[in-house]
């Protein structure tokens, strides 16, 4: 569910007409719904009711500080994967003891920053990383809390580029080597081993892969406890998918996911952490764009938009589907026609959809890409010297620009010309 609905023939974000935002900030732009963000966070929090738990938002999905602050004030922790994300979370007011640091390539500087500023735990991805965290912790005179990320060799049944739990993926240590690695971690004086971490992928649409992975984690917990490790926290990652195409079968609900966690791991008495990102932010955001031209081609018509692949790269990178709707509600019974919906970037890959049925459109008409709140603005670039597009947050009948569109002068003046030129 989201809070982007038609009202009196126009698409609204909560109580604000999308066309009003477009008139104020120009197109293209991203718009997020506070009510949807909070509703989706609460679904996860409620799903784990009765357990000791923390929902850590995976901020790589959408990391604007206004979004982070909205979720943090509701009680969310944060899952970060870089020093920049850590500092962004801190700038948004998130305390260190609610920040989990994931990611396969943590640098010495990033580790030092987190240990100095406070950290809930590092999710350790490899033995070399574990040794470095230990060394930095000893240098600073602190003890670093860690979990070790295990790779359970489970097929998440998702897109190959976002699967993370198979043996050939770069993430974690093989679960078969867990005893050896945990023994080494326990011997390092700068580390405190507090639990286990697992994450098998993103945009999962079935519960079975989670069940397979969590069953393995339950067995590992009992084995490590028998080997004298104090396993008291289980970080289960995120990955629950969203319905990008409304005609598709809906992925499992957070309440079903929570029930599975309780069934497979509830008997262990561990604190549970989960790291949802896409399901919290995905349907909480739209990208709004304007039709520049309607072009007739050989056997097909094109809608050429002012939004492009640099603004929303998911279709080009993942062959991803986004429902695309008109901001002006179509007249009932209007005949639709197929369009290739494309952007102005000089690449054939700058195509959002092929032969997508839409009502007749004309230059100046507005369209909205649904389910664009996750991995939209955060993956955008300035390719073709196209400015990063504004982000807007709606709260009831109010809206605010939470990231401005830079001017061309601001973009160009970042370059520095060498003295010999």
pLDDT in tens, the chain (421 residues): 689 999 999 999 999 999 999 999 999 999 999 999 999 999 999 999 999 999 999 999 999 999 999 999 999 999 999 999 999 999 999 999 999 999 999 999 999 999 999 999 999 999 999 999 999 999 999 999 999 999 888 764 544 444 444 445 556 899 999 999 999 999 999 999 999 999 988 788 889 989 999 999 999 999 999 999 999 999 999 888 888 876 556 788 999 999 999 999 999 999 999 999 999 999 999 999 999 999 998 889 999 999 999 999 999 999 999 999 999 999 988 999 999 999 999 999 999 999 999 999 999 999 999 999 999 999 999 999 999 999 999 999 999 999 999 999 999 999 999 999 9
Q: Which residues neighbour 99 within 8 Å (Cβ) at sequence distance 6 or greater?
A: 56, 77, 78, 79, 80, 86, 89, 90, 114, 118, 119, 120
| Domain topology for 4-31+282-412 | Lyase, Ornithine Decarboxylase; Chain A, domain 1 (2.40.37)
Q: How much is the pTM?
A: 0.93
Q: Which two tokens stand for residue 303?
A: 């809608």
Topology of the domain covering 103-274: TIM Barrel (3.20.20)
Q: Could you tell me which residues come within 8 angstroms of residue 220 by beta carbon, excluding any fewer than 6 positions away?
A: 150, 175, 178, 196
Asked, colleague to colleague, whether 4-31+282-412 and 103-274 share their fold, the answer is no
CB 384 within 8 A of CB 345: yes
Q: Is 127 helix (H, G, I), strand (E, B) or coil?
A: helix
Q: Where are the domains of the chain?
A: 4-31+282-412, 103-274
CB count, 10 Å around CB of 51?
15
* Cβ partners under 8 Å of residue 163, min gap 6: 155, 156, 169, 200, 201
> What's the residue count for the chain?
421
Residue whose tokens read 């309440």: 255
CA 183 centroid distance within chain = 33
Residue owning tokens 């409304």: 246
Catalytically active residues are 346
């Amino acid at each position: 569910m989201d809070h982007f609905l038609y009202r009196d023939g126009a698409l609204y974000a909560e109580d604000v007409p999308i066309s009003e935002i477009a008139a104020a900030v120009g197109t293209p732009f991203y718009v997020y719904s506070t009510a949807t963000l909070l509703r989706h966070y609460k679904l996860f929090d409620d799903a784990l009711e009765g357990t000791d738990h923390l929902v850590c938002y995976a901020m790589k999905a959408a990391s604007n500080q206004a979004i982070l602050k909205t979720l943090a004030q509701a009680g969310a922790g944060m899952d970060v994967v870089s020093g920049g994300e850590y500092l962004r979370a801190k700038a948004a007011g998130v305390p260190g003891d609610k920040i989990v640091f994931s990611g396969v390539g943590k640098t010495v500087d990033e580790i030092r920053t987190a240990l100095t500023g406070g950290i809930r735990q590092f999710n350790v991805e490899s033995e070399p990383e574990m040794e470095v965290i230990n060394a930095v912790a000893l240098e600073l005179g602190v003890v670093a809390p860690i979990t070790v990320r295990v790779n359970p060799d489970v097929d998440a049944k998702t897109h190959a580029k976002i699967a993370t739990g198979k043996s050939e993926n770069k993430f974690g240590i093989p679960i078969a080597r867990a005893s050896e690695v945990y023994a080494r971690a326990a011997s390092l004086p700068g580390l405190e081993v507090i639990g286990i971490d697992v994450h098998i992928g993103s945009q999962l649409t079935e519960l079975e892969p989670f069940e397979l992975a969590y069953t393995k984690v339950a067995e590992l917990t009992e084995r490590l406890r028998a080997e004298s490790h104090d396993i008291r926290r289980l970080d289960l990652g995120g990955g629950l998918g969203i319905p990008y195409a409304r005609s598709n079968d809906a992925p499992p609900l957070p309440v079903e996911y929570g029930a599975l966690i309780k069934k497979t791991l509830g008997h262990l008495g561990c604190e549970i952490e989960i790291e949802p990102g896409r399901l919290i932010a995905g349907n909480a955001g739209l990208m709004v764009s304007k039709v520049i031209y309607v072009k007739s081609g050989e056997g097909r018509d094109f809608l050429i938009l002012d939004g492009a692949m640099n603004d929303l790269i998911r279709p080009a990178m993942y062959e991803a589907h986004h429902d695309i709707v008109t901001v002006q509600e179509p007249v009932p019974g209007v005949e639709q026609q197929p369009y290739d919906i494309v952007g102005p970037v000089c690449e054939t890959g700058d195509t959002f959809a092929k032969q997508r049925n839409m009502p007749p459109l004309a230059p100046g008409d507005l369209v909205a890409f649904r389910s664009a709140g996750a991995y939209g603005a955060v993956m955008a670039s300035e390719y073709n010297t196209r400015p990063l597009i504004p982000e807007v947050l709606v709260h009831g009948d109010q809206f605010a620009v939470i990231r401005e569109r830079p001017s061309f002068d601001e973009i160009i003046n970042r370059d520095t010309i060498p003295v010999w030129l």
